[in-house]
Structure formats: structure tokens, C-alpha cells
Amino acid sequence: MVSTVAIKAFVLVAASLPFTQAQTIQDGNQVVAANETTVAPGAVQVSPDSSDSGVSYFSFEATQLTPDVIANLTALNLTGIEYFDFANTSSSSTTTKRGYSASCKTLPGDAAWPPHLVWSVLDLLLGGALIKSVPVAAPCYSDWAQYDPDQCSTITAQWNSPQFQSSQPTGIDWPLFEGVTCLPPTLGPTNATCTLGGMPSYIVNVTNVAQIQLAVNFARSLNLRLSVKNQGHDFNSKNVGAGSLSVWTAHLNDIQYLGPKFSIGSFTGPALKIGAGVETLQVYEYADSHGLEVVGGVARTVGLGGGYIAGGGHSPLMSMYGMAADQVLALEVVLPDGRFVSVSENKYPDLFWALRGGGGSTFGIVTSLIIRAYPKLPITTLTFSFGTSENNVTNDTFWEGMDLVWATFPDYADAGHYRYWSIVCASESSCSFSASPHWANNYTTAQLQDFVAPLFANLTALGMPPQNVVYAEYDGVLNAFTNTFAADTEVVGTWTYHTGSRLFPRGNWENATSLAAQSAALRNTAVEAGMMLGYNFKAAVNPTVNQDNAVNPAWRDTLSHTMLGAVWSQTATPDEIAAANQVLTQRLQTWRDVTPGSGAYMNEADINEPDFQQSFYGSNYPRLYALKQQYDPWGVLYAITAVGSEDWYVTGQIPYYPTQNGRLCRVRAA
Ligand SMILES: Cc1cc2nc3c(=O)[nH]c(=O)nc-3n(C[C@H](O)[C@H](O)[C@H](O)COP(=O)(O)OP(=O)(O)OC[C@H]3O[C@@H](n4cnc5c(N)ncnc54)[C@H](O)[C@@H]3O)c2cc1C
Ligand SMILES: *[C@@H]1O[C@H](CO)[C@@H](O)[C@H](O)[C@H]1NC(C)=O
Ligand SMILES: *[C@@H]1O[C@H](CO)[C@@H](O)[C@H](O)[C@H]1NC(C)=O
Ligand SMILES: *[C@@H]1O[C@H](CO)[C@@H](O)[C@H](O)[C@H]1NC(C)=O
Ligand SMILES: *[C@@H]1O[C@H](CO)[C@@H](O)[C@H](O)[C@H]1NC(C)=O
Ligand SMILES: *[C@@H]1O[C@H](CO)[C@@H](O)[C@H](O)[C@H]1NC(C)=O
Ligand SMILES: *[C@@H]1O[C@H](CO)[C@@H](O)[C@H](O)[C@H]1NC(C)=O
Ligand SMILES: *[C@@H]1O[C@H](CO)[C@@H](O)[C@H](O)[C@H]1NC(C)=O
Ligand SMILES: *[C@@H]1O[C@H](CO)[C@@H](O)[C@H](O)[C@H]1NC(C)=O
Ligand SMILES: *[C@@H]1O[C@H](CO)[C@@H](O)[C@H](O)[C@H]1NC(C)=O
Ligand SMILES: *[C@@H]1O[C@H](CO)[C@@H](O)[C@H](O)[C@H]1NC(C)=O
Ligand SMILES: *[C@@H]1O[C@H](CO)[C@@H](O)[C@H](O)[C@H]1NC(C)=O
């Protein structure tokens, strides 16, 4: 029985740890006879109705680590149990259970790294959910035991699929900032080798809350780096870390409709409860089956309740309803001290504020969220393009056309629309614009044709009549999304480009000088970089939800979130990658210069963003930083550019090419 093994393992651990104090060796069988179910896994079933949110727990949330479980385990007098105990925030210090103030997190190979048996005990308490990391592409490399050329071919063929990567414990969508340490050879750098690099050492394949609590307590007590990975889409690989214990929340994907008149705090209306791991398409499909839609993004596989909402979340519906984070009514969260709490307007209101927009992997690990839903509304979409290829249009005429388009940004956003647009310039004299798609929420085709007629007439008058004009009507978000955002554009696993972005504020449209400066900056960067893409929308004011949250205040004035990329070849050296990243940061400076005081979207931002605290969090930063100190004084949770991350650094980095492949250390000695 698992429990027998657990007890025996504990006895062995007690005997083998170099740092144990007094040890009481138990007769394992006797202890098991006393009570087996309370020992392994380290969890208890609580009543599903005991959530402070007033909404029943998902079944995975009713399996918890409680002080009673710890007390029972402690009563067995087995050394090592204290690694799984909760922390007392009030009496917190950076001193770990091991009795020293660590300035760096422990890495494999260090004397303090837990021996294999301790990991076995963790696995037993987790009920077997611990996975020892092996890089996904290890079968491609003869120095790994997994070497298997046939399997390597299979892996290589699927490498760019988000579904494939998210099915793998060490799957990674954006390997760049892990360190590009193990790709299939044909997709990797020249003379590629395979190491774990910035990947975690162990992964907890989470299927209940107790497992998250055990992992959090274990990592905190033993000074291990903890990483949190959901669907793994973060552009800056904020879900990994060398030597870390990874909490993998992707399988927490329950969804429940709470009815049309769900009531909490000041809200009454339709709502869904979603697990943190649900993918966007899954939520869209579920909502649609109930005649509803939700504020979500435009990638099938992005974790709606993970990094997306934590970072704010922009959406085709946001010009109608506000940001995705604004839609959150309550959350269930494992805190850095190991405790599992409900967070809402009335429970932990400070965390309710911070968890909606203040960024992932910072204040706690979210297991589920209650989000507002809306009745389905018809949507008309439009795609069109224009460019210098038409009728010998000159570069200046093209940019006059762009000025016409820019001028429409306030009205289109105020009408509730969403435009995803791009500009491609093969050279200074050869540029094209495309809106693909423009979503007109709650519009018919006839209404949208009327709406765009003045712009189209003006473009035509310039000699650039809109090309490839296609209108389509849909019954709601699900069908509009699946038909206007192609699945095959969701390519992951690549490492030869990187993007950065900027939020362009409405104030620029209210001042002709500013608008002209903005237009000139966008023109220059489009020509220099060859491509840019962006969104035209706004974060609508929505009195039906609580919008007093940690979403970057810059979002509240934004009319466009615009992105720029840097690319390099598969033969680029790390120094060349760093140089390309630096060029990107410099180009983005011209955007920063024309948008003083605004910011950038943390989920789609330059990893080298100067003064990221101001850019990603704005005036919320001091309050967020104070909450980070209050709830996580140990620094259990870390991610690059997350709140409080300036107190840490990763060793061995090339400037402008930061990776998670190094040791995480405190900037200020503890
Ligand atoms: C193809 C594509 C399309 C996109 N489209 C949009 C869009 O339309 N709108 C938009 O706003 N964004 C969009 N994004 C960006 C997206 O919001 C971010 O990549 C987001 O962070 C992904 O969330 P995730 O949970 O899948 O990622 P992860 O990489 O798993 O997590 C992101 C961050 O959140 C943390 N985190 C994850 N889960 C939890 C949890 N349960 N508790 C605490 N912390 C957690 C992680 O540690 C990490 O720091 C897109 C990204 C891609 C790749
Ligand atoms: C152990 O405790 C659980 C929970 O209280 C109880 O259901 C079970 O019967 C106990 N097992 C034994 C062997 O006493
Ligand atoms: C702790 O042990 C006691 C005594 O065996 C038992 O009644 C109780 O249910 C256990 N609690 C938990 C949370 O396992
Ligand atoms: C654990 O130790 C305490 C105090 O030393 C003792 O009273 C208790 O009986 C021990 N428990 C077990 C299960 O041996
Ligand atoms: C937390 O505080 C309680 C009460 O003071 C104490 O019994 C417990 O041992 C403390 N836990 C830790 C991990 O320090
Ligand atoms: C790759 O390996 C070959 C053979 O060892 C060597 O000649 C070459 O310089 C290497 N290329 C790079 C880019 O390191
Ligand atoms: C992780 O857990 C899920 C849910 O139980 C399971 O379907 C999946 O196969 C597991 N993955 C791995 C790699 O163990
Ligand atoms: C572009 O200009 C050339 C030369 O002036 C002319 O021959 C050609 O017909 C023009 N093309 C279009 C599409 O007007
Ligand atoms: C851009 O347009 C201007 C005026 O129309 C023209 O003088 C210039 O040569 C063009 N530049 C390029 C690179 O085509
Ligand atoms: C959608 O449009 C209809 C009629 O055009 C209007 O009555 C309704 O209020 C609109 N819905 C929203 C949410 O704007
Ligand atoms: C189109 O041009 C007219 C006349 O210059 C102008 O008043 C109007 O604002 C323009 N509209 C758009 C949408 O470009
Ligand atoms: C317009 O913006 C410029 C800076 O771009 C500023 O100097 C000027 O004062 C602003 N004008 C008005 C009327 O606000």
C-alpha cells in the first residue's frame, strides 16, 4: 500500500538526511495500522461546501492539505514532516527551516539539495504526481537514456504544436528565455546539445489543491525555486526556472455554469466557474453551449484563468465590457504560506485587487476563478487591405492612408469594435496594411458597411481603394473566433524571434502634434523593422463589474496595443541574439518617446523593458510591491518582470538576453 511505503520512506529519510535533528524511528506497520488514509497522500477531503466564496469547490479543490493533516503526520514523530508545514506570515523571515538566511535558491548538486529519498517522500504525499524532468527532445540526443531516433522524428514533427507542447511536462512554447538548451537538432541552434537548462528539475502534475500546497510548503521550507506553469504560453518563458519545482496547473480544467442570476458581492448575473488550466477555446465552447460568451483572447490554447487574466487580458469584447481581469468575481488561491483561501470583494480584498491584473506567479497560485459571462451577441467581421502595390501608390500616399486609419481609432473603439491590424513593409516604397480581422460587436453587415464607408471613401480618394474586402456575420464569439483566427497561426516552440510592445494612449489622438509624432514614429519603425502588428480597442468602462483592480492603469486610456518584433536566423549565436534584442528595445524607445507616461502589456512585452515597474504596473506598483512583501516575504514565487522580481537576479546572463538558465539569487543579502 502506498501509505506503508510512505511511512517506510519517512523512516529512511529520517535516517539519511544530513541535516536532521532528533529522530524517532517508527515501526511503519504500526503507524499504518493507526491510520493509513491520513498519511499518503498528504491530504484530506473537506466538504465541497466549505469554500468561503459561497460557491462549492470543484472536486479537485476539496482535496486539501490542512493543519490537521500536518498535525496527524507530525504526531507520527517522523523527521521531515516539517518541510510540508504551513508558514506563519506574521512571524516570517527569510530564514528557512534549515536555519539559515539563504541568499540564493538551492540548485541540484548543492549539498543542501534534497536527496532522492526526500523527493520520494514528496511524491508519496502527492499521491504519485511528481515527475522528474526530462527535456521533451531528449530522444534526439544520444547522451540521454531516452535516445530514440524514431521518437525524435515524431517529436520534431509535432514540435510547433501548442497542443503537443502543453501535453508534455517540460513542454515549452517559447524556449528562447529558457536558454534554447534542448530542441530537436533540425530546429535548434548549430551543433545543438541537450541539457535541462532553464527547465524545472521536478514537476508536480497537479490534480488537486493539496498537491499545490505540499509543493509550495516544500519549496519554501527547503529554499527551492518554485515555478508555475499553466498552458505555458508566456512569451518570456515566465513559467520555467533552472532547478525549480514546477507546479503544473494545466489539468485543472473543470468548468461550471453558475446560472443566469449568480450573485456575489455587488454582482448579480450570468457567471462561470473555471479551473485555472482551462484553455480559451474550451471556455468559448462551453459558454456558447449555454448561449453565453466571455471576455477572452484570440488563441485557442492560452490558459484563460492562468497568465492571461493575471496579466489583464485583452479581448475582442473589451471595447464593450472591459478587460478580462475586470470580469473576475472571485478566486480560489494557494498562498505562498501554503494556505488555501477564497478571494473576493469581501475576502482578502487586497488580494482580490492584486490578482486581477497584477501578474502571474506573484501573490499565489490560482486554482479556479468565477468570471462574469454575457449573453451571446451577433458579430460582423471585416477583413480588408490596401498598400503601395495598388495603382503605383507612393510611400507617402500609403502613410497618408495610414493617417486616415489612425484617425478612426477613437471612434471605432468607442463603438465597441476590435481591430487586429498589421503593416508589412518589404522596403520603404513597398508597404501594405491589413485589418484581419475587424470585429464589429453587435453589428450587422449593413451597419458595418455604413460605419466604414467614410474611411473607405477617403482611401479610395487617395487612389488606394480597400482590397480583398470580406464581410461575415456570426452568432457570437465562438464562431467569429474560430473562423477569423486560423488554428495554424498558433505556432509555438520557435526561438528565432522576440517581440515587444507599447500601449498608445487616447491623449495622443486629442493633440494634433502628438498624433503626428506618433504617426511618424510608427512609420519609421515599420520601415526599419519590416513588420508591426497591433490592436485597436479600448478597455470599456463597465459598471456591472468591479474595475478597481491592478490592471495597468495605462490600459484604461489605451486605443492601441502595438507590437514589434526582432528576428534572427537559426545560426545566430547568443551574442547575436542579444544584439537583435537590444535593437528591438531601442526601436521601442521611439514608441516610448511618443507615449510618455503610458506603458506596455506585461503579457506581450519586451523582456528588456526599461523601468518595467512603471511600464507594466504604472502607479499600482508601490501597492503591489507592499502586498508582495506581505504575502510572500520568503520570495517563494518569482517570475522575471513580476512584482518584486527586481529583488532577485539569475546568475550568468548575457545583457539583453536574460534566460532562466542560472541560479536565482537575492539582490540584497537577506
Ligand atoms: C498565440 C497567442 C495568442 C495570444 N493572444 C492573446 C490575446 O488575445 N489577449 C491577451 O491578452 N493575451 C494573449 N496572449 C498572451 C497571453 O495572455 C499570455 O501568454 C499568458 O501569460 C498565457 O497564459 P498561460 O497561463 O497559458 O501561460 P503560462 O506561461 O503557463 O503562465 C503565464 C504566467 O502566469 C503564471 N501563472 C500561470 N498560471 C498560474 C496560476 N494558476 N496561478 C498563478 N500564476 C500562474 C506563470 O507562472 C507565468 O508567470 C497570446 C499568447 C499567444 C502565445
Ligand atoms: C483513518 O482516518 C480516516 C479519516 O478520518 C478514516 O476514514 C479511516 O477509517 C481511518 N483509517 C483507519 C485504518 O483507521
Ligand atoms: C487526524 O487523526 C485523527 C485521529 O486519528 C482523525 O480523527 C482525523 O480525522 C485526522 N485528521 C485528518 C485531517 O487526517
Ligand atoms: C511522539 O512523541 C511524543 C513525545 O515524545 C509521544 O508522547 C508520542 O506517543 C509519540 N507518538 C508516537 C505515534 O509514537
Ligand atoms: C505557527 O504558529 C503556531 C502558533 O504560534 C505554531 O504552533 C506553529 O508551530 C507555527 N508554525 C511554523 C511553521 O512556524
Ligand atoms: C559545429 O561543429 C563543427 C564540428 O565540430 C565545427 O567545425 C563548427 O565550428 C561548429 N559550429 C559552430 C557554430 O559552433
Ligand atoms: C497529468 O495528469 C493528467 C490528469 O490526470 C493526465 O491526464 C496526464 O496524462 C498527466 N501527464 C503526465 C505527463 O503525467
Ligand atoms: C504604374 O506605372 C507604370 C509606369 O508609369 C504604368 O505603366 C503602369 O500601368 C502603372 N500601374 C498601375 C497599376 O497603374
Ligand atoms: C517615397 O515617396 C517620395 C515622394 O512620394 C519619393 O520622393 C521617394 O523617392 C519615395 N521613397 C522611396 C524609397 O520610394
Ligand atoms: C445590441 O444592439 C441592440 C439593437 O441594435 C441593442 O438593443 C442592444 O442594447 C445592443 N447590446 C449591447 C450589449 O450593446
Ligand atoms: C474622410 O474625409 C473627410 C473629408 O476630408 C473627413 O471629414 C472625414 O473625417 C474623413 N473620414 C474618415 C473616416 O477618414
Ligand atoms: C500637444 O502635445 C505636445 C507634445 O507632443 C505638447 O507640447 C503640447 O502642449 C500639447 N498641446 C496641447 C494643446 O495639449
- Give the model confidence (pLDDT) of 286-309 as tens digits: 999 999 999 999 999 999 999 999
Res. 20: pLDDT tops 50: no
CA 533 to ligand 5 centroid distance, Å: 53
pLDDT band at 79 (very low <50, low <70, confident <90, very high): low
Closest CA to 421 of 429, 197, 413: 413
CA 307 to ligand 1 centroid distance, Å: 3
pLDDT digits (tens, 9 = 90+) for 419-467: 999 999 999 999 999 999 999 999 999 999 999 999 999 999 999 999 9
Q: For domain 379-612, which CATH number applies: 3.10.105.10, 3.40.50.300, 3.40.462.20, 3.30.56.10? A: 3.40.462.20
Ligand 4 site residues (CB inside 6 A) read 75-77
Residue among 208, 251, 254 whose CB has most ligand 7 atoms within 8 A, to mutate: 251
CA 565 to ligand 1 centroid distance, Å: 19
Res. 5: pLDDT tops 60: no
CA 191 to ligand 6 centroid distance, Å: 6
Whole-number pLDDT of residue 344: 97
Strand 328-334 to 340-344 pairing: antiparallel
Residue among 24, 26, 31 whose CB has most ligand 4 atoms within 8 A, to mutate: 24
Whole-number pLDDT of residue 147: 98
CA 472 to ligand 10 centroid distance, Å: 19
pLDDT band at 530 (very low <50, low <70, confident <90, very high): very high
Helices (H), strands (E): how many in the chain? 19, 24
CA 217 to ligand 2 centroid distance, Å: 25
Whole-number pLDDT of residue 7: 47
Ligand 2 site residues (CB inside 6 A) read 35-38
Ligand 12 touching residue 517 (CB < 6 A): yes
Nearest atom in ligand 1 to the alpha carbon of residue 229 is: 30
pTM higher than 0.85 for the full model? yes
CA 337 to ligand 4 centroid distance, Å: 27
Whole-number pLDDT of residue 490: 87
Q: For domain 255-375, which CATH number applies: 3.90.25.10, 3.30.70.250, 3.30.465.10, 3.30.479.30? A: 3.30.465.10
Cα–Cα distance between 579 and 585 in angstroms, integer? Answer: 10
Whole-number pLDDT of residue 98: 44
Strand 130-132 to 430-441 pairing: unpaired
Whole-number pLDDT of residue 399: 98
Res. 214: pLDDT tops 70: yes
Atom 1 (ligand 9) nearest CA: 395
Q: Give phi and psi for 148, each to the nearest 5.
A: -165, 95
pLDDT digits (tens, 9 = 90+) for 620-667: 999 999 999 999 999 999 999 999 999 999 999 999 999 999 999 999
pLDDT band at 131 (very low <50, low <70, confident <90, very high): very high
Res. 89: pLDDT tops 90: no
115 secondary structure, DSSP code: P
Task: Give the residue extent of every domain in the chain.
Answer: 255-375, 379-612
CA 595 to ligand 1 centroid distance, Å: 25
Whole-number pLDDT of residue 465: 97
Ligand 11 site residues (CB inside 6 A) read 404, 407-408, 454-455, 458
Ligand 8 site residues (CB inside 6 A) read 391-392
Ligand 12 touching residue 513 (CB < 6 A): yes
Residue with cell 517522500: 121
Annotate 376-387 with DSSP letters as a single string: ---EEEEEEEEE
Share of the chain above pLDDT 70, in %: 91
Residue with cell 504544436: 161
Ligand 9 touching residue 345 (CB < 6 A): no
Atom 5 (ligand 10) nearest CA: 442
DSSP-derived 3-state class of residue 313:
coil
Question: Residues 211, 212, 218, 219: what is their CA dihedral angle, to the nearest 10 degrees?
Answer: 140
Please count the other Cβ atoms lying within 10 Å of the Cβ belonging to residue 551: 25
Residue among 386, 390, 391, 392 whose CB has most ligand 8 atoms within 8 A, to mutate: 392
CA 404 to ligand 11 centroid distance, Å: 8
| Cβ(330)–Cβ(343) below 8 Å | yes
pLDDT band at 28 (very low <50, low <70, confident <90, very high): very low
pLDDT digits (tens, 9 = 90+) for 228-284: 999 999 999 999 999 999 999 999 999 999 999 999 998 999 999 999 999 999 999
> Which cell numbers hold the place of 597?
507616461
Whole-number pLDDT of residue 210: 97
CA 299 to ligand 4 centroid distance, Å: 55
Host H or E run for residue 205: strand 202-205
Instruction: Give me the chain's average pLDDT, please.
Output: 92
Whole-number pLDDT of residue 19: 27
Cα–Cα distance between 367 and 403 in angstroms, integer? Answer: 45
DSSP-derived 3-state class of residue 657:
strand
DSSP-derived 3-state class of residue 178:
helix
